């Protein structure tokens, strides 16, 4: 599910967390929790516009390696 979030952020940056959840057909709370984890790892950051938090990728390229 987090990989899906990353892909959506890469392809079409949303105007808010709520719109990202709507685009993905997911609950805003679930999306917020996943985004918080991605933010902890420095994968995303938030731009603010009034009360809206706009999640943005911090890098143009990401490499995801499985943990074995």
Contact predicate 55/35, CB 8 Å: yes
Question: Model's pTM, two decimal places?
Answer: 0.85
> Is residue 13 within 8 Å of 54, Cβ to Cβ?
yes
Cβ burial 36-64 (10 Å sphere, 16+ → b, else e): eebeeeebbeeeeeeeebbbebeeeeeee
Residue ranges and CATH numbers for the domains of the chain are 2-57 (1.10.10.10)
Q: Could you give phi then psi for residue 50, rounded to 5 degrees?
A: 70, -125
pLDDT of residue 28: 93
pLDDT tens for 30-47 read: 999 999 999 999 999 999
Confidence of residue 26 (pLDDT cuts 50, 70, 90): very high
- The tens digit of pLDDT for each residue in 8-25 reads 999 998 999 999 999 999
Tell me what pLDDT residue 68 has.
81
Residue that wins the pLDDT comparison between 49 and 19 = 19
């Amino acid at each position: 599910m987090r990989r899906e979030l990353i892909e959506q952020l890469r392809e079409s940056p949303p105007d808010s967390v709520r719109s990202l959840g709507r685009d993905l057909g997911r609950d805003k709370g679930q999306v917020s929790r996943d985004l918080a984890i991605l933010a902890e790892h420095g994968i995303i950051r938030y731009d603010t516009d009034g009360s809206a938090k706009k999640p943005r990728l911090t890098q143009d390229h990401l490499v995801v390696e499985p943990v074995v």
